[in-house]
């Protein structure tokens, strides 16, 4: 897992390092520019020096642009540099680098129509977007509207018939906290960020227009010599499972827990069976489906390694949970609202590791306060955005509100607030899946870019995710770790299968994913 930061955290780290005398702002800017130039060479090794169109803005992001111009010029590039704003008003470090560049080559005052024209005509080379970085907190200025149009048109040209676009820190116009588009954001093939990636690089706000990861291209983070200590309250990017997933030689089945997956009525059992299959494949020692009597014959015809029990009501569930070996529960997939209202309080009373999904979320949406009061730290809620909206309407409304000022409210802040209110772990699904606990600990799994798993958008894949989290908790993962690891395994299984994936395929890909993890 690596750390990702908000713009405020990043600013705090920079300011502290500069104030302590450990490093000067000018040194940071030099390393930032050098880092971008080094990444251009690494990511585009076959790109010979030709023309680099460099767009510099009025802040320190523009300052990085002047460093990049100087360093690319030293490497034989022809530089065509345009500055938005008055050079006399540049902040000090950016002004120093403006002056160093101005002694080498021309600075063209901003002309929106001319830049659009240049973008339209460029068939190769580089475009460096150093207009705005993490400091942008308002919509893009009107004099970038035609430039935006030029960027939009470039997107539709074949990769080998257009320049490569490199964003300095973040594509201009994106909010680095939320990934949202401040109206008129650009896009990039390569985004080079400094010290740590920002939340907005990996969040994926849905469009139109799409923001965050969809705009950044390949995100690379370069070290600029800032202290490496983790920032308080930082968010972890889930890049691999955080806990051991193998089975040790001497452990027996009860050493890996017994997951109980509740099912609903006849004809509605597929969702629970998907969850149960996922719990078993992820390594729970035993898995039992507990169904209503009329559904038993249907399940019996489908289940083999998974055990089956009849479970009429919540009262009986309390009795069943006297058996402490049933150490993780999954309620929701295919459960039905009435059965959820009966079963969920009984399950929560037992204080077991519990995943609540689907009907076990929405059945309580009319009056969530008493429901939240029963939740505890071994519970994981796994809503998609629609379910989240029902349980936390105010937070969902803040997320959906139009953005005019930044930093805009992000999915990370919304899920943190939801976890604090619910008193348990909340996992909000999507191409960007955010996990938070009531203490504010948070993680982001981003199925974007090279990690994209679009075939997960298929009926029943959420049931599999719930089963994975339940199976991992049966194996002893904490609620938070189980949720984060389930999100990772879910997407890894989808990528391993590829196009044509349906939910049934996900558990069956886990053996391959485990082998690739070296288990």
Ligand X SMILES: NC(=O)C1=CN([C@@H]2O[C@H](COP(=O)(O)OP(=O)(O)OC[C@H]3O[C@@H](n4cnc5c(N)ncnc54)[C@H](O)[C@@H]3O)[C@@H](O)[C@H]2O)[C@@H](O)CC1
Ligand Y SMILES: Nc1ncnc2c1ncn2[C@@H]1O[C@H](COP(=O)(O)OP(=O)(O)O)[C@@H](O)[C@H]1O
Name the binding residues: 60-64, 129, 133-139, 169, 172, 271, 334, 384, 429-433, 462-463
Q: Residue 276: in which H helix or E strand, if any?
A: helix 270-281
Q: Rule CB under 6 A: is residue 384 a binding residue for ligand Y?
A: yes
First to last CA, the chain: 19
**From the list K ion, ligand X, ligand Y, none, partner contacted by residue 457 (C-beta under 5 to 8 A by kind):** ligand Y
**From the list K ion, ligand Y, ligand X, none, partner contacted by residue 136 (C-beta under 5 to 8 A by kind):** ligand X
Chain positions contacting ligand X, by CB under 6 A: 14, 25, 28-29, 32, 57-64, 91, 132-136, 138-141, 168-169, 194, 224
How long a stretch of residues is the chain?
Answer: 519
- The answer to whether 17 and 227 have CB atoms below 8 angstroms apart is yes
Query: What is the number of alpha carbons within 13 Å of residue 324 lying toward its C-beta?
Result: 1
Residue with tokens 């607030």: 417
Q: Residue 15: in which H helix or E strand, if any?
A: helix 7-19
**From the list ligand X, K ion, ligand Y, none, partner contacted by residue 28 (C-beta under 5 to 8 A by kind):** ligand X
Q: Rule CB under 6 A: is residue 279 a binding residue for ligand Y?
A: no
Q: Which is nearer to ligand X, 62 or 269 (CB)?
A: 62
**In the bound complex, what is the minimum distance in angstroms from residue 486's beta carbon to ligand Y?**
9
Cα gap 204→273, rounded to integer Å: 30
Q: Rule CB under 6 A: is residue 502 a binding residue for ligand Y?
A: no
Cα gap 253→307, rounded to integer Å: 14
Q: Which is nearer to K ion, 147 or 478 (CB)?
A: 147
Binders of ligand Y in range 438-497 (CB under 6 A): 447, 453-454, 456-457, 459-463, 465, 490
Q: Which is nearer to ligand X, 11 or 515 (CB)?
A: 11
Q: Which is nearer to K ion, 167 or 496 (CB)?
A: 167
Question: Using CB under 6 A, which of 430, 438, 471, 507 touches ligand Y?
Answer: 430
338-359 core/surface letters (b: 16 or more CB in 10 A; e: else): ebbbbbbbbbbebebbbbbbbb
What is the number of the residue whose Cβ is closest to ligand Y?
A: 462
**In the bound complex, what is the minimum distance in angstroms from residue 278's beta carbon to ligand Y?**
11
315-322 contacts at long range (C-beta below 8 A, 24 or more positions apart): 315/346, 317/262, 317/290, 317/343, 317/346, 317/347, 318/346, 318/349, 318/350, 320/260, 320/290, 321/346, 321/347, 321/350, 321/352
> Would you list the DSSP string of 68-114?
HHHHHHHTT-EEEEEE-S-GGGS-HHHHHHHHHHHTTS--EEP-HHH
| Residues flagged as binding site for (6S)-NADPHX | 60-64, 133-139, 169, 271, 334, 384, 463
Using CB under 6 A as the criterion, which residues of the chain lie in contact with ligand Y when the complex forms?
Answer: 384, 429-431, 433, 447, 453-454, 456-457, 459-463, 465, 490
């Amino acid at each position: 897992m690596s750390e990702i930061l908000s713009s405020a955290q990043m600013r705090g780290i920079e300011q502290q390092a500069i104030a302590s005398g450990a490093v000067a702002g000018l040194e940071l800017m030099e390393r930032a520019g050098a880092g971008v130039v080094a990444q251009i060479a690494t990511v585009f090794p076959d790109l010979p020096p030709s023309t680099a169109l460099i767009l510099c803005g009025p802040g320190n992001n523009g300052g990085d642009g002047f460093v990049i111009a100087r360093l690319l010029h030293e490497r034989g590039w022809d530089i065509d540099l345009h500055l938005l704003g008055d050079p006399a008003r540049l902040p000090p470090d950016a002004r120093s680098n403006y002056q160093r560049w101005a002694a080498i080559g021309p600075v063209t005052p901003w002309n929106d129509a001319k830049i659009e024209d240049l973008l339209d005509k460029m068939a190769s080379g580089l475009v460096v977007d150093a207009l705005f970085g993490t400091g942008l907190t308002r919509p893009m200025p009107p004099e970038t509207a035609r430039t935006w149009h030029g960027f939009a048109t470039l997107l539709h040209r074949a990769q080998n018939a257009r320049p490569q676009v490199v964003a300095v820190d973040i594509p201009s116009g994106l909010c680095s906290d939320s990934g949202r588009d401040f109206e008129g954001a650009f896009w990039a093939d390569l985004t080079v960020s400094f010290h740590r990636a920002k939340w907005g690089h990996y969040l994926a706000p849905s469009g139109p227009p799409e923001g965050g990861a969809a705009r950044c291209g390949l995100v690379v983070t370069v070290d600029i010599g800032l202290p490496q200590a983790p920032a308080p309250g930082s968010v972890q990017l889930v890049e691999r499972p955080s806990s051991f997933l193998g089975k040790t030689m001497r452990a027996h089945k009860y050493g890996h827990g017994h997951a109980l997956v509740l099912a609903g009525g006849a004809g509605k059992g597929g969702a629970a069976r998907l969850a149960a299959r996922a719990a078993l494949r992820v390594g729970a020692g035993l898995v039992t489906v507990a169904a209503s009597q009329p559904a038993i014959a249907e399940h019996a015809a489908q289940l083999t390694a998974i055990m089956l029990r009849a479970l009429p009501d919540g009262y009986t569930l309390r009795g069943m949970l006297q058996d402490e070996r049933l150490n993780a529960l999954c309620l929701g997939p295919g459960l039905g609202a009435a059965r959820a209202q009966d079963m969920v309080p009984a399950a929560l009373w037992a204080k077991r590791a519990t995943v609540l999904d689907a009907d076990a979320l929405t059945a309580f949406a009319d009056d969530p306060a008493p429901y939240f009061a029963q939740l505890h730290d071994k519970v994981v809620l796994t809503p998609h955005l629609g379910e989240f909206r029902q349980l936390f309407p105010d937070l969902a409304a803040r997320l959906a509100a139009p953005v005019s000022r930044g930093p805009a409210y992000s999915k990370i802040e919304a899920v943190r607030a939801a976890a604090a209110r619910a008193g348990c772990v909340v996992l909000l699904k999507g191409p960007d899946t955010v996990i938070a606990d009531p203490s504010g600990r948070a993680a982001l799994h981003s199925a974007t870019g090279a990690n994209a798993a679009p075939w997960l958008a298929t009926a029943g894949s959420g049931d599999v995710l719930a089963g994975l989290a339940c199976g991992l908790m049966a194996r002893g993962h904490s609620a938070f770790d189980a949720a984060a690891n389930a999100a990772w395994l879910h997407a890894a299984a989808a990528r391993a299968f590829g196009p044509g994936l349906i939910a049934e395929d996900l558990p069956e890909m886990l053996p391959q994913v485990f082998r690739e993890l070296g288990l």
